[in-house]
Structure 1
């Protein structure tokens, strides 16, 4: 297959060419990541980025492909996760020096998944077929990234579809499946370009994406349940959130928001918004219930049980009644627990483990019966980024309820990306989302992923909105990722077997 590449003829390679070989893939990754910031032409942006990457891959050797993939991933994750420095700036004097190491290690570590995708594609497909294998290996790498070491599926490239008609693919095949579809379209365009179809190839890509968008132009899920929800956004900056002088200020602010205006059917407070451990929170809970004027209140709180601490959501029904508790099951690595802590303690790092590993994972199904919402699947912050966490248990929820504290994420990309992932969960499941965030962005999202109402970032206030009705289960809600996983495993197994057979045949031929 004729193709474009950064390769140069044999002989001495000028220094600027060597530098370009490093910088170019990083810039390609950065361009791809910018698709998440493109709220209008996101599908075309991500498609163009994938096309450029496929056209410029160096096919000489698997190691060069792997390095190219790592550099692309470095640019992609470096830009996508730029907000990850924000938690280290909350207390700059103590932790500020860690910020550059955090972004470098995070981006570099996640880029290893892409390095594997590019290297395996070259090893299986050889120089002529590597491009054709990229949809399989890149999708498999993203699935692995979402599950290995508890997973971190933040910023899946297909999230660039959210907010466009093309996001209907998430309802059909999920976020990973949509990435596979986008990659296949990109390969088709590249194949056409390398065959000399200079006009036809881009037209093919455009027609496919426009068709995807037209298919997605179904009526919005505008029906409501007739119930009104109030989202509380106290806007407590992280550096003040646990300050003893400021805690009463933010609590009183939330109480005032809860009691303002007309009474509603249900009130939602964000993650860890009650400034007391549950065992000692009765005076606080009484105030919350009275302010809600009889409406149930769902709020985030920390609780202790037999020496273990949990990041929890509670349902308050009456001044002294905690009717339900849902504990966070999917904890944040290195933020709420230390992975493989049992290995660190013998190395003398027990103090680090004790300081960070403060929470234990919950074991429930995450479902909560809430008057005004129905059966709610409660997701606490980090849990909302995992597509598979929406499908725990056999009971389908009526709504996804997300409480979060995005004050850690800063004022730009982090909270907005987190919101987009909540929209993706709504589209995948055909369920509305109610999302209460400490500093924003609090929002009510319908079952097609469209934002019905929202509160701006870094704004203190409350939001009243009608609760959207759920849609019938989507195709993805019924089948999940398993068909895609099976397809990828079968394809990779067949590819590895064929590559080994070709290698043996080549050796026999030389013999």
Structure 2
């Protein structure tokens, strides 16, 4: 049940208070377990959550990828439950009403839980940081904390509150009122902390287009159909002043660097719009194939390129292909294209304005967002293609990430999709403009520009990695102390 509550707390339902209920129960069930018991209970918790939260994965290639991804995530979740159980076991000799149990243990449990999120976000095959506690709070009163501590920091504070409540209950509950002070103190901090203020730097007019073309992997289409849909949906914007025109991921189904017909069509768009076009296509350069966002201008010398940093394993490339072809040759054989990870900065300059970028699932990777902010992004454009997940919750879960990134960085976000949901998001996460799924639409929205780095984007890279080592070191110290005490 606790795992289902976490699913309900996540988009699209977004019942954010349930996160605290789920985590509180989720922490309690690991107390007093054996290592094997913690592993088993953790795997069951993870399986229920990931199977329900990621059911949309099966839309693309059927149940095998869905079960495989949910299964791997569940196993990793279960493995991460073992250190939490050990933390409770090894700290059991401390007095139930002392600072060690009421303060130190909740902090240690929170560090271990968050460390698990961090590790799952980078491993294996670049990880899958899709389901994090902090992301469930985008509609809640504590979302602003992400601008100070980042998404992982918000996860850490959520678990700290829940684990502190558990320790208060274990110490006597309402018969020990002052034992609730640690949880209450952190909760008050979460609620009253405002969003970190970034500095206003003017306005920027962005035209955005959701073409609703046949952009899915298995959609019935002919070459050029996706581009034609984008062109048709863009036409109503011509004549409206704009600083940038943004198209979604996969909005051009040809390589304009090699296809003169596609290049000529994009030149006409730029001329008619009176603004550069931020578009996306698969490009062939050198020995690699890249998922590329191009700032297209009629002058080739002024064009700028960003390649997706984290191609999706088993979607945009197949790691260890020889091995997985032995397991599922039919499914693996469907994925012919092998995208190369990009290494160029996630930023383009438009008339002196830095535009941060993230292509589709790159929005879930902290480093892509932080790199854009530190490189000078004053707003973000997230380009995505949700066509393979039509009729599922995938686009709304990804949209929650886009909104949280606006809050985390204090910058406006234009999240533009091929088929929906596209939104223009203010720096505080509020929706300025929106169009739903399976609709061809376009608009021009004026968004605020912001400068200045939030603490999350500045110190985030220095927190997540060290957190994993700090959690492991702290658990080791507690374990050694426990062992020494047992010998004594």
- For the superposition of Structure 1 and Structure 2, which TM-score range results when normalised by the shorter chain? 0.7 to 0.9
Aligned to 1:121: 84
Output the CA distance in 1 between the equivalents of 2:350 and 2:439. Answer: 27
Distance 1:401 1:248 in 2: 24
Shift in Å, 1:421? 0.7
Aligned match of 2:254 in 276, 280, 296? 276
Q: Select the structure with the greater relative contact order (CA < 8 A; seq sep ≥ 6).
A: 2
Tell me whether 232-241 or 171-180 shows the greater mean CA deviation.
232-241
Which string of whole-angstrom CA distances, capped at 9 and with x for unpartnered residues, describes residues 419-469 of structure 1?
A: 111122222222221221101111222222222211112211112210222
Cα distance in 2, alignment partners of residues 108 and 326 from structure 1: 33
Q: Whole-Å Cα distance in 1 between the matches of residues 299 and 460 of structure 2?
A: 41
Task: Decide whether the 8 Å contact of 1:69 with 1:115 is kept in 2.
Answer: yes
1:347: Cα distance to partner?
A: 10
Say if 2:354 is the partner of 1:381.
Answer: no
Question: Is 1:167–1:216's contact at 8 Å kept on the other side of the alignment?
Answer: no
Question: What is the count of residue pairs matched by the alignment?
Answer: 468
Tell me, yes or no, if the aligned pair for 2:196 and 2:454 is still in contact at 8 Å: no
Tell me how far apart the structure 2 counterparts of residues 46 and 304 of structure 1 sit (CA, whole Å). Answer: 44
| 1:338–1:58 distance in 2 versus 1, CA, 3 Å | same
What 5-or-longer segments of structure 2 have no aligned partner?
Answer: 93-100
Find the counterpart in structure 2 of residue 492 from structure 1: 472
User: Which residue, out of 41, 51, 59, partners 1:86?
Assistant: 59
The one of 285, 299, 303 equivalent to 2:283 is: 303
Q: Deviations over 1:25-80 (max 9, x none)?
A: xx2211112101476751x2111111122233351312111211111111111121
User: What is the RMSD of the two structures over their aligned residues, measured on CA atoms?
Assistant: 3.2
- Ranges in structure 1 where 5+ consecutive residues have no aligned partner: 1-26, 89-98
SS of the residue 2:428 aligns to: coil
Give the 3-state SS of the residue equivalent to 1:235 in structure 2: coil
- Residue 188 of structure 1 pairs with residue 164 of structure 2: yes
Q: 1: CA distance between counterparts of 2:280 and 2:415? A: 12
TM-score, normalised with respect to structure 1: 0.82
**Does residue 390 of the first structure (1) align with residue 364 of the second (2)?**
no
Q: 1:406 to 1:313 in 2, by over 3 A?
A: same
Q: CA deviation at 1:411?
A: 2.2
- Contact 1:338 1:353 (8 Å CA) reproduced: no
Q: Is 2:201–2:451's contact at 8 Å kept on the other side of the alignment?
A: no
Distance in 1, matches of 2:78 and 2:29, equals 15
CA distance in 2, matches of 1:483, 1:501: 26
Cα displacement (A) at 1:191? 1.8
* Residue 233 (structure 1) shift: 0.4
- Number of the residue aligned with 1:140: 115
How far, CA to CA, are the matches of 2:215 and 2:435 in structure 1?
Answer: 18
> Is residue 2:135 matched to residue 1:159?
yes
Q: Is 1:30 the counterpart of 2:4 in the alignment?
A: yes
Displacement of 1:338 in angstroms is: 1.8
Deviations for 1:183-208, whole angstroms, at most 9, x for unmatched residues? 01001112222233349588986785
Structure 1, 377-386 or 210-219: larger mean CA deviation: 210-219
CA distance in 2: counterparts of 1:344 and 1:255, whole angstroms: 39
1:338-487 equivalences under 5 Å are 338-341=318-321, 352=332, 355-371=335-351, 374-392=353-371, 395-487=375-467
Residue 20 of structure 2 is matched in structure 1 by 47
Deviations 1:102-144 (A, max 9, x none): 2222112112222122211222431764974431221111000
Any idea what SS the aligned residue of 1:274 has? Answer: coil
